[in-house]
A and B are shown apart, each in its own frame.
Chain A
């Protein structure tokens, strides 16, 4: 069984890509290493959102709040307590998942857009807390110069740490999506009413999905702290949530790696086009309009769509014959 998995093309591809990514710091300059790390962090965040939106059909409009909770938890534990930094880094995702559980417990009682509106409100509440609770969070100044353990200081060690953590997270997400839980989550997305009728507790299932997704969002938040050494309230602002939504849209809702690709495109646009003009979002806007018209399932959704269409065409010719 294991041997078979090791021989599959997708495994070989993944291994090859990982190998290249491991070698990047030896080939490319520090700037590109940094950009790649940024893409991984955003990509992990977008993929955790896609777990809920693309695969779970839940309108998690303010996913960024949990990214912020993860980052702030790590930042606060490291700067305000005497606990070792590693504990701060581990506590981030747990705090994010717990917040996800509390917020989610209210949201899953509602459907679709109502779910989304309540979620965006409760998420904004957390943002206000980070912004206004000066004595704890330094308000809009944020927390800067968060010291990292020796093992993680420097851009190359941080890159490797982020690469490893993101790879592990993606592997876990992949397993989860292939599991009965993942299959049922997609069934809930397609038809919640039918799911109830086959004995699935839809709310509990969605809630578990939310806890898992917010945990990974918390991991992304912690990785941001590792990379930048700072946190600020904008990380919990709804605009950031919108950006990761766009990443999912760009890359493809119903695919696994789509949001990572979307993150790469967004970060690249911002970094490279953004260095020429501050109106880089204008280009993003045009790209989005074209995308919605021509590739409504995102860039990685292409194959799926053409495949379906071709097969239906083949079908209809069968009938004619």
Chain B
């Protein structure tokens, strides 16, 4: 479904991504792991068009999406969440998700119809599925950290994505929140047939949830394979797992 080939990106002299390869099959839950500064977030930014790569190709469903603008890539069916809670803080929780659904339905430019009456059902459905219905009239900026992260995923779902990219979905969460959130992610993947690409620091979470794991170091892909294969790979153990 998603194919990343020898992707490269430098900032001045620093090679943030220096040859990343990644394959995501339909229905997979792919985790990208690697130490801080390995280039995981840069890789995601390249895939979603928030950065333009220097070299390499990104194919999505057979089409070349390398270098397209972020909103164009989103239209092709890739939605994402960000590492820091990236929401619309002054809008209500409902409106946060509605804006994304409106964009998906190409209604963002509608001028003379009340937004109150549009895509209400779809928005409520998403809020139900992530468990934020009770808080839908709250101002998003006043939510707890965990709820903000869940809201981010809900906003991404508004785009009816085929591929959902989550950049450290549980960063800063308590162990309880982490468990709940990862279960939510797993359930969404099953129920809605989503393909999910995520990066995560918590190794328990990764080996529990992922069906495929890609390991990055110094901007390069070391290995991609099933959790068992990755666990047994010696380079990975040295680089990252500390000899698990």
Q: A186-B91, A191-B86, A194-B82 are in contact. Are A179 and B139 (CB under 8 A)?
A: no
Interface hit among B24-32, B100-108, B176-184, B202-210: B100-108
**Contact among A180, A190, A194, A315 for B108, CB-based, below 8 A:** A180
B90 touches A190 (CB 8 A): yes
B223 CB within 8 Å of chain A: no
Residues of A within 8 A of B (CB): 175-176, 178-184, 186-187, 189-191, 193-202, 205, 208, 254, 308, 311-312, 315
B113-142 interface bits toward A, Cβ cutoff 8 Å, 1 = contact, 0 = none: 111101000000000000000000001001
A208 (CB) vs chain B CBs: closest residue: B109
**Contact among B69, B79, B95 for A198, CB-based, below 8 A:** B79
In the complex, 29 of the A-B residue pairs with CB atoms within 8 angstroms, ordered by the A residue number, are A179-B114, A180-B102, A180-B109, A182-B115, A183-B95, A183-B115, A184-B108, A184-B109, A187-B91, A190-B87, A190-B89, A190-B90, A193-B82, A194-B87, A194-B88, A195-B99, A195-B103, A196-B74, A197-B74, A197-B82, A198-B99, A198-B103, A198-B155, A198-B158, A199-B71, A199-B104, A200-B103, A205-B108, A208-B109
Bound together, the chains give a CA A198 to CA B103 distance in angstroms of 7
A199 (CB) vs chain B CBs: closest residue: B74
B102 touches A184 (CB 8 A): yes
Contacts of B90 in A (CB 8 A): 186, 189-190, 254
Contacts of A201 in B (CB 8 A): 69, 71
B48 CB within 8 Å of chain A: yes
Contacts of B50 in A (CB 8 A): 193, 196-197
B80 touches A187 (CB 8 A): no
B156 touches A198 (CB 8 A): yes
Contacts of A179 in B (CB 8 A): 110-115
Bound together, the chains give a CA A116 to CA B96 distance in angstroms of 27
Interface size, B (range) = 35 or more
A183 touches B98 (CB 8 A): yes
In the complex, what's the smallest C-beta–C-beta distance from B100 to chain A, in angstroms? 4
B187 CB within 8 Å of chain A: no
Interface SS, A side: helix
Residues of B within 8 A of A (CB): 48, 50, 69-71, 74-75, 79-80, 82, 86-91, 95-96, 98-100, 102-104, 107-116, 118, 139, 142, 155-156, 158-159
B110 touches A180 (CB 8 A): yes
Bound together, the chains give a CA A195 to CA B98 distance in angstroms of 12
A190 (CB) vs chain B CBs: closest residue: B88
Contacts of B110 in A (CB 8 A): 179-181
In the complex, what's the smallest C-beta–C-beta distance from A170 to chain B, in angstroms? 14
Contacts of B111 in A (CB 8 A): 175-176, 179, 181
B101 (CB) vs chain A CBs: closest residue: A198
Bound together, the chains give a CA A31 to CA B79 distance in angstroms of 59
**Contact among B75, B96, B109, B116 for A199, CB-based, below 8 A:** B75
Contacts of A176 in B (CB 8 A): 111-112
In the complex, what's the smallest C-beta–C-beta distance from A6 to chain B, in angstroms? 15
Ranked 3 nearest A-B pairs via Cβ: A199-B74, A190-B88, A196-B70
A178 touches B114 (CB 8 A): yes
B100 (CB) vs chain A CBs: closest residue: A198
Contacts of A198 in B (CB 8 A): 74, 79, 99-100, 103-104, 155-156, 158-159
Q: Which of A189, A193, A195, A198 has the most CB of B within 10 A?
A: A198
Taking A179-B115, A190-B91, A311-B142 as known contacts, 17 extra A-B pairs with beta carbons closer than 8 A to each other, sorted by chain A number, are: A180-B108, A183-B102, A187-B88, A190-B87, A191-B87, A193-B50, A193-B82, A194-B86, A197-B48, A198-B103, A198-B155, A198-B158, A198-B159, A199-B74, A199-B100, A201-B69, A308-B139
A175 (CB) vs chain B CBs: closest residue: B112
Bound together, the chains give a CA A197 to CA B95 distance in angstroms of 16
